[in-house]
Amino acid sequence: SARKSWDAARAELSAKGAGKFRMGDLVKKSTGSEWVGHVCGWYSTNQTPEGYAVESSAHRNSVQIYPVTALEAVE
């Protein structure tokens, strides 16, 4: 079931230390439209096992969600 898949993905992310990024990490979109901000949450679906909510550094309170493959760390 979808719920079981979601729970399995969540457990896997938790086991890996919440995935590639952690809450508060500064990230940017790696291609396409520009988006720079801090990780403020994460999500998991069947299509996107590891995704993140990113609050914009330029536009306060604006949040976008992206799959892990669309993001990179800002040094």
Point out the residues that are catalytic.
Answer: 29, 64-66
Strand, helix or coil for residue 33: coil
**List of residues 6+ apart from 59 with CB closer than 8 A:** none
Region for 53 from its dihedrals, namely left if φ exceeds 0, alpha if ψ lies in -120 to 50, beta otherwise:
beta
Q: What residue has token string 């500064």?
A: 26
Q: Which two tokens stand for residue 2?
A: 């979808």
